[in-house]
Structure 1
Amino acid sequence: MKKNVIISTEFITLGQLLKEENVVSSGGQAKWYLKENTVMVNSEPDDRRGRKLYDGDNVEVPNSGMFFIRKK
């Protein structure tokens, strides 16, 4: 599934994205999830929940789909 994620701030963190898209329910779960699953940010693996995602970034989450970050 491909989905646009519209942000109104300069960036969103990877952990916030996972929470907003209901992949996880808390920051602690996001940390665990990223250690156990390979999440791709702009076609490169990343396991930092604090990773800043900006307009134009693409995130692929296993079993959840691909998310395109777009600024409002």
Structure 2
Amino acid sequence: MHFTLENEYITLSQLLKACDVLPSGGMVKAYLADHYVLVNGEKENRRGRKLYANDVVEIDDKRILIQ
């Protein structure tokens, strides 16, 4: 899956909502409290993590490339 940035960056929480991975900010917060996602191959659980072009986010069986 590809996501095109409209600004310089997007937060992890905003990305997961925009890509319909999780439906709300509350769900993102709850998910990241118990799980992590991979950002460029590294474990991440901060919902405010800034993501930039060419970052890759992996959650469950989904892979999102930011453009």
TM-based fold match above 0.5:
yes
The correspondence for 1:48, drawn from 41, 46, 49, is 46
5+ residue gaps, structure 1, are: none
Q: CA RMSD of the aligned region, Å? A: 1.0
Q: Would you say how many aligned residue pairs link Structure 1 and Structure 2?
A: 67
Q: How does 1:3-42 map onto structure 2 within 5 Å?
A: 3-42=1-40
TM-score with structure 2 setting the length: 0.91
Report SS of the residue matched to 1:59: strand
Matches of 1:9 and 1:66, distance apart in 2: 21
TM-score with structure 1 setting the length: 0.85
Matches of 2:33 and 2:59, distance apart in 1: 13
Instruction: Provide the identity percentage.
Output: 45
5+ residue gaps, structure 2, are: none
